[in-house]
Amino acid sequence: MRRMLLCLVAMVGLFIAAYLTLYHYGVIGALSCSIGSCERVQTSRWSMFLGLPVAAWGLGFYLLLIALAFAFMQPRFAEDRRLALALVILTGWGVVFSCYLTYLEDRVIHAWCEWCVSSAILVTIAFLLAIAEWRSLRALPLPGGVSEA
């Protein structure tokens, strides 16, 4: 159930990232932002990272997360500890980067974007789910008869 939840959380995050990416490239004219000032954040100089919009990096991040989470749901990867670890590392990196972005919003840009905060919350949930799955796999005794080619 946790793996399904992880996949669903990543899907929601994907659409948030897609929304912000489309805004960045001008497909969407104005952001819906009931609290905070999303446009100030999204048009600040910190909205770019290594030549690409941060939102586009988010899009790639969530696509990868969906792919891994979906694979993790499949019976053949049911007890794959490396996949569990990959999910922990990926979402852990997402949490670190989200913390950095949240710090920028609070201390540097002095403006909040509710979509960014939502994404940060989703990444944190994904990280906790990934940790829980990894721990539950680690708690299992090594399956007998497993042979890796």
Partner 1 sequence: MAKQRPQAGRSRKPSAVKSAKQSPANRAFYLIAGLIAIAGIGGLTYASMHSGAQATASMVDTTLPPVKSEGYVMGSPNAPLEVIEFGDFECPICGQFNTLTEPEIRSRLVTPGIIRYRYIDFPLDMHHNTWNASRAAACADEQGKFWEMHDAIFQSQDRWDTEATSNPDKVFKTLAKQLGLNTDQFDNCVDSKKYQAKIQAHLALAEARKLDGTPSFVIGDRQITKGLSYDEFKAMVDSALARRRSDSAATKPAPARGAAPTP
Query: Which residues of this chain interact with partner 1, rule CB under 8 A?
Result: 1-4, 7-8, 11-12, 14-15, 18-19, 22, 26-30, 32, 37, 39-40, 43-45, 73-76, 78-79, 108-111, 133, 136-137, 140-141, 143-149
Residue whose CB is less far from partner 1, 50 or 149: 149
Residue whose CB is less far from partner 1, 57 or 77: 77
Least separation in angstroms between residue 39's CB and partner 1 is: 6
Residue whose CB is less far from partner 1, 26 or 51: 26
In degrees, to the nearest 5, what angle opens at C-alpha 3 toward C-alphas 16 and 5? 45
Least separation in angstroms between residue 70's CB and partner 1 is: 9
Residue whose CB is less far from partner 1, 120 or 134: 134
Least separation in angstroms between residue 92's CB and partner 1 is: 19
Query: What are the respective helix, strand and coil percentages of the chain, to the nearest 5?
Result: 75, 5, 25
Question: Residue 65's closest CA among 135, 122, 23?
Answer: 122
**Residue at 17: amino acid letter:** A
Q: Are 121 and 12 in contact (CB under 8 A)?
A: no
Least separation in angstroms between residue 79's CB and partner 1 is: 7
Q: Which residues contact 42 (CB under 8 A, 6 or more apart)?
A: 20, 23, 24, 31, 55, 113
Q: Count CB-CB contacts under 10 A for residue 56.
A: 18
